[in-house]
Structure 1
Amino acid sequence: MSTTSRTRLHPAAIVSLVIGGLIIIGALAFLSWFLISTSSTPNQQATQKLVQWQEIFEKYRSAHDTLPEMPAGGYCLGTGFPIGAGGTANCRDYDAETHYTEEASAPLRDALASVSELPQGVSAAVRGTVGPYALYDDAGVRLLTAEDGTCEAPAVEVWNDGGGLFICQILLTR
């Protein structure tokens, strides 16, 4: 009669292996959560860009006791906008007649650059609209951008096309 000896794990070794496996699974779950939670969406990035511009406008107001004076109308905030209608770099509805040109916005950018380094880059285009841009009107200075779906706080919705394009705003009163 032949007997085969089997090696058995001690109960403490089994418990150690189970605990080690749970620690590894927990660490992987935490790492996954951390990577997902720290990445921002295009909407969050667009709102963050608006907040950066808001801070520069407020820095200008602090230094000059007023916001930069510009005629009523729209202005691109930043550079690097897509080439659109007229063969120019445009913001807002960059490939339509309702665009604002990056070139015509230079005086506003120059005024703001006198108090701080300007944010770089533009927001992701949504259904033909790209920001950030500023609209000077009687209400004050509206900092606007396009977002895909609902606006991220502190920006608030001022318009949507019913198809996913939301125009989000931070209002600066004079």
Structure 2
Amino acid sequence: MQTIPISALQNPEDVSELCHKTAEPVRIEVDGRNDLIVMSPEVYRCLEPHAEARHLFEKLMNSPQYDFDQLKPSMLPEDEAGVYVIFLKDTGETLYVGRTKKLRRRLYTNHLMGPEANARLKKYLVADARYPDIENMEQAKAFIKEQCAFRYLVEPDTEKRGRLEGLFAFLTNVRYIDEEH
């Protein structure tokens, strides 16, 4: 990205030509600090999907935090689909990112109360050498209740949920990722 001084705006045709020629945003400085970004409509159209992704990630990260030790099923929507992140309360490190057709069932019934067959996070915790005190599913459940919280974003569209799950996993540098099939 090229940087030009604000005085270059005295010749807007030159700035326009630069934006079109470089096919990238141009940074405008005022007194040595970044002040504006200008770009061609073509570059803006290419950046729009990224802006939506940033907006959805910010929306997720600003959504209410639910601590597992306080969680009651009635706190979650009964039949809403969405994407969620489960993280450590003390450090904010993301342990797991998932998507589901039914948030309440997945987060409460499966992750917290569920058996080994449908509680992936518990299985990861039992297998993780960083947690030698977690030897079984009950200890994993206790860890989740004491140490973990989650946030979620309602998203009814299946394809978009899949994209958001991957995006949120990448942006949060999630610790546990399901094996590929």
Give the TM-score taking structure 1 as reference length. Answer: 0.31
Which protein is bigger by CA-based radius of gyration?
1
TM-score by length of 2: 0.30
